[in-house]
Copies of this chain bind each other. A is one copy, B any other.
C-alpha cells in the first residue's frame, strides 16, 4: 500500500472524522505525511511550539511530562488508531506533554492549522471533537478516582479487564501490551510494586502468569476483586470502546 493509501484508510476510520464528507477527509489527507520513528525517539517535547498533530498507524506512543526534579509522569500510552497532540489548539499551540515512541512506530502527521480552520466552519467535526474530548474527560475522571480509591493489585486487575473482550463468566487470556516497567509507570507505580501486586492478584483471584501472558479461568473473580472499589459497575458502559474502563 502506498503512503497515501495508508493515510487515507487510517484517517477515514477514525471516530473524529466519521462525520466528515469525502472532500474534507481528502483535504486532510493531502496535507498529511506518513513518518516512522524509532523506539525511544521523541516526537515532540512538552512546552514546545505545536504545528502538527498525530495519528498512530502502528506501534506505541508514550505521552508524559517531567517535573523540575526530573521525575516523569506518564499521561498515557497509546496504540494504533489513536490521535494525540490535537488539544494544543486550545493551548496557544503549545504541546502540553511530551511524546515518545516506546517501540518503532508509524505515524500520520497532520497540520494543526487545518484542524483549527476546519473547526471554525465545520460543525460536524467540532461536535465529533467535542465527543472525543468528553470521552477523554471521563477516562481521566476514572483514572483519578482509581488512583484515590483502588490499591495497586486492584488497579492492575482493572487494567487487565480493559485489555480483555470483557464478557462475563468467560476464561481470559491476555498478553501484556508492553514491558512491565511501562505498565507499572502507566498505572503510577514502581516496577517492584507492580511485580508484588501481580503476585498478590494471582493469590486473590487465581489467575496465572507466564512471562507477559496472563490466564484466568473465569473473569468474574477478577471483576469481583477489582470493581468492588469503583463507582461504575463492571461492563463499564460508555467506556468499553476506549482503553480506560471500570
Contact = CB atoms under 8 A, between A and B. Distances in A.
Interface of A: 46, 65-69, 71, 73, 75, 87, 90-92, 96, 119-121, 123, 126-127, 129-131, 133-138, 140-141, 143-145, 147-149, 188, 227-231, 233, 238
A170 to B, nearest CB: 22
A125 to B, nearest CB: 10
30 contacts: A65-B231, A66-B231, A67-B228, A67-B229, A67-B230, A68-B227, A68-B229, A68-B230, A68-B233, A69-B228, A69-B229, A71-B149, A73-B144, A75-B141, A87-B137, A90-B134, A91-B134, A91-B238, A96-B138, A119-B127, A119-B130, A120-B123, A121-B123, A123-B123, A126-B127, A130-B133, A133-B133, A133-B137, A143-B144, A147-B147
**This protein's copies in its complex:** 2
Contacts of A143: 144
A136 B230 CA distance: 22
Contacts of A87: 134, 137-138
Contacts of A68: 227-231, 233
A90 B87 CA distance: 18
Given A69-B228, A140-B144, A144-B147, 5 more contacts: A65-B145, A87-B134, A91-B138, A144-B144, A147-B148
Contacts of A67: 149, 228-231
A229 to B, nearest CB: 5
A141 B130 CA distance: 17
Contacts of A238: 91-92
